[in-house]
């Protein structure tokens, strides 16, 4: 066993996006591609000597091969100890939990999250720092810059390590600890939620379906919801993680999880349903006949948080990403706590949590979490809902209607235009930016524009500025349109347009969101000429 130094040349485009580096599997399979990026991570950090890293992934295709390479590189780069999930499996929230609990220096998550998997799908890699959260922009930028100048990487020639059983082995001077992927995470959930109340709920005949989409949530959900909380076997479906997610697109939204949505409209529908994504950090919440928007879910959880043991002391504050609806802002205003607006991507919440400024936060893209870790957490959100249903005795539908009656309803929808030519998407955004200064005061249908800008975030903790985080157009009646380009896609550009309007009148709370938002959707077309630039008369995905 010895450490080799292998010369290499740089690859273009190893720039982390909204959440790590994501590329097609075939790109990652090129010789030296993963090695270059991993060495660039290590080169951008302090020495690994004496430090512990956490390593795991969502089990997608290329996970097993990548894990063996990273183990050999970590050993060669002087890492002291690496904690790895059995069979290389760890959900993103579990990685965050382990880094914090064992005071690791950081973690490497192998996942392209909500992107499809399999040999023709996507692969991804992300570095998390010692607070358990995604590396902030200054670190991802340093990693990217390193990938451009790299000339060599270090790797041990040790044979592959058996990671199929918990236990400890060594490679070079590094200790490799294979751990059960679920137990630490489950212990943390027990400390936050009232498991007895949820057990009584299931014992009383409450029925639920959780679709794990053949991704990494399966082992966590079966152990916690079925074995521990007593839900009947079969409550968690598609519970076995598969390398290609069984052909599912593991992005829990009404389009990809259409079977679950349809099932919730049948007479056989259980009381509650949920779905999670590739790496188990996203969640979709459903009641009988309804899918709750993630923005509403966040607002409702915030409004009831003190009923959950882990949040009985109250919330320090809340935060949402800029495109997320302002429903939670109304809750924060009534609770008299601060509400922060951050750019898209979980990395921006970390500083606010570390500084004790927020307890709950979320994004419109089916992400919700709290300061218990520094990532979004799908199963946490589902357990929060179960706990809430157990202590209030109310259904998802009842809790939503009650919420809208009290605060008003923020109708919300996201329209995605996928696989747009990059030059066209960029031209649309450029033309829109050029128009912004002329928009305030202009009227569209019944509304006047009050503000139009390109969102710039000033981090209140480290005072860093993040510019060009999405174009937002705000109207006099509280409606908003937001335009931005996705930072997680791997083919062409994805244009995301987010629509929101506020309806205080209870009699108008049961409309179809697309109808409630129709005039705003027409306004976006008029302002941005979406059809002209994209050549598409309708979005490819509506959520
Ligand atoms: C998308 C979502 C964003 C989320 C990110 C990572 O990013 O919009 O809210 O944080 O995915 O989620 P983008 O840049 O494509 O809009 V995950 O669960 O895929 O890591
Ligand atoms: Co995810």
Q: For residue 18, what pLDDT band results from cuts at 50, 70 and 90? A: confident
| Cα gap 183→164, rounded to integer Å | 16
For residue 537, what pLDDT is reported?
93
For residue 312, what pLDDT is reported?
97
pLDDT digits (tens, 9 = 90+) for 97-154: 999 999 999 999 999 999 999 999 999 999 999 999 999 989 999 999 999 999 999 9
Give SS3 for 365.
coil
Atom of ligand 1 nearest to the CA of 18: 14
Q: What is the pTM of this model?
A: 0.96
The pick from 343, 367, 539 for probing ligand 1's pocket by mutation, whose C-beta has the most ligand atoms within 8 angstroms, reads 367
Give the residue, by CA position, lying nearest to ligand 1 atom 8.
Answer: 365
Residue 112 and residue 204 in contact, taking contact as beta carbons nearer than 8 Å = no
For residue 505, what pLDDT is reported?
92
Q: For residue 510, what pLDDT band results from cuts at 50, 70 and 90? A: confident
Tell me how far the alpha carbon of residue 247 lies from the centroid of ligand 2, in angstroms: 17
* Strand extents, DSSP E, 35-144: 52-57, 81-89, 106-110, 122-128
**Mean of the per-residue pLDDT values of the chain:** 96
For residue 197, what pLDDT is reported?
98
| Cα gap 57→63, rounded to integer Å | 6
For residue 248, what pLDDT is reported?
87
Over residues 512-528, mean pLDDT: 95
Over residues 517-528, mean pLDDT: 96
Task: Give me 273's structure tokens.
Answer: 């349903």
Q: What is the DSSP string of 276-302?
A: E-TTS-BEEEEETTEE--HHHHHHHHH
Over residues 37-58, mean pLDDT: 96
| 113: annotated active-site residue | yes
Q: For residue 1, what pLDDT band results from cuts at 50, 70 and 90? A: confident
| Cα gap 117→251, rounded to integer Å | 11
pLDDT digits (tens, 9 = 90+) for 387-402: 999 999 999 999 999 9
CB atoms within 10 A of CB 196: 10
Residue matched to tokens 């949920």: 274
Q: Are strands 208-211 and 236-237 parallel, antiparallel or unpaired?
A: parallel
The pick from 121, 345, 412 for probing ligand 1's pocket by mutation, whose C-beta has the most ligand atoms within 8 angstroms, reads 345
Over residues 324-349, mean pLDDT: 97
């Amino acid at each position: 066993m010895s450490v080799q130094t292998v010369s290499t040349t740089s690859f273009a485009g190893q720039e982390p996006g909204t959440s790590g580096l994501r590329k097609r599997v075939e790109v990652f399979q090129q010789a030296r591609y993963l090695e270059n990026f991993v060495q660039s991570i290590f080169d951008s950090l302090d020495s690994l000597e004496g430090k512990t890293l956490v390593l795991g992934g969502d089990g997608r295709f290329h996970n097993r091969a990548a894990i063996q390479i990273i183990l050999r590189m970590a050993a060669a780069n002087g890492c002291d100890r690496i904690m790895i999930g059995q069979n290389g499996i760890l959900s993103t929230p579990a990685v965050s939990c382990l880094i914090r609990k064992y005071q690791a220096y950081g973690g490497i998550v192998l996942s392209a999250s909500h992107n499809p998997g399999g040999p023709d799908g996507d692969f991804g890699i992300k570095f998390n720092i010692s607070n358990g959260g995604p590396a902030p922009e200054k670190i991802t930028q340093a990693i990217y810059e390193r990938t451009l100048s790299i000339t060599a990487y270090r790797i041990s020639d040790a044979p592959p390590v058996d990671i199929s059983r918990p236990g400890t082995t060594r490679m070079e001077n590094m200790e490799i600890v294979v751990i059960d992927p679920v137990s630490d995470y489950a212990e943390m959930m027990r400390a936050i939620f009232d498991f007895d109340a949820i057990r009584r709920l299931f014992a009383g005949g409450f029925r639920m379906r959780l679709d794990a989409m053949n991704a990494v949530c399966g082992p966590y959900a079966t152990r916690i919801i079925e074995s521990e909380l007593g839900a009947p076997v079969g409550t968690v479906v598609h519970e076995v993680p598969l390398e290609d997610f069984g052909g599912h697109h593991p992005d829990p939204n009404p389009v990809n999880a259409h079977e679950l949505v349809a099932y919730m409209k049948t007479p056989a529908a259980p009381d509650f349903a949920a779905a999670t994504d590739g790496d188990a950090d996203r969640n979709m919440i459903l009641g009988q006949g309804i899918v709750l928007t993630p923005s509403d879910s966040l607002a409702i959880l915030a409004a009831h948080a003190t009923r959950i043991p882990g949040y009985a002391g109250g919330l320090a504050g809340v935060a949402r990403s800029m495109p997320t609806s302002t429903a939670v802002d109304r809750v924060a205003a009534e609770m008299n706590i601060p509400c922060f607006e951050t750019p898209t991507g979980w990395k921006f919440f970390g500083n606010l949590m570390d500084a004790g400024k927020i307890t709950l936060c979320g994004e419109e893209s089916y992400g919700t979490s709290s300061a218990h870790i520094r990532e979004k957490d799908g199963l946490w959100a589902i357990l929060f809902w179960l706990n809430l249903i157990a202590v209030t005795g109310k259904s998802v539908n009842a809790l939503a209607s009650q919420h809208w009656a009290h605060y008003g309803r923020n109708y919300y929808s996201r329209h995605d235009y996928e696989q747009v030519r990059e030059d066209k998407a960029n031209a649309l955004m450029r033309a829109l930016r050029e128009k912004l200064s002329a928009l305030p005061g202009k009227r569209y249908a019944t509304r006047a524009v009050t503000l139009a800008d390109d969102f710039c975030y000033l981090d209140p903790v480290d005072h860093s500025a993040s510019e060009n985080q999405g174009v937002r157009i705000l109207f006099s009646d509280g409606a908003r349109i937001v335009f931005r380009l996705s930072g997680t896609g791997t083919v062409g550009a994805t244009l995301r347009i987010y629509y929101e309007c506020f309806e205080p009148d209870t009699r108008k709370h049961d409309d179809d969101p697309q109808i409630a938002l129709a005039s705003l959707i027409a306004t976006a077309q008029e302002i941005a000429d979406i059809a002209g630039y994209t050549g598409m008369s309708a979005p490819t995905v509506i959520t």
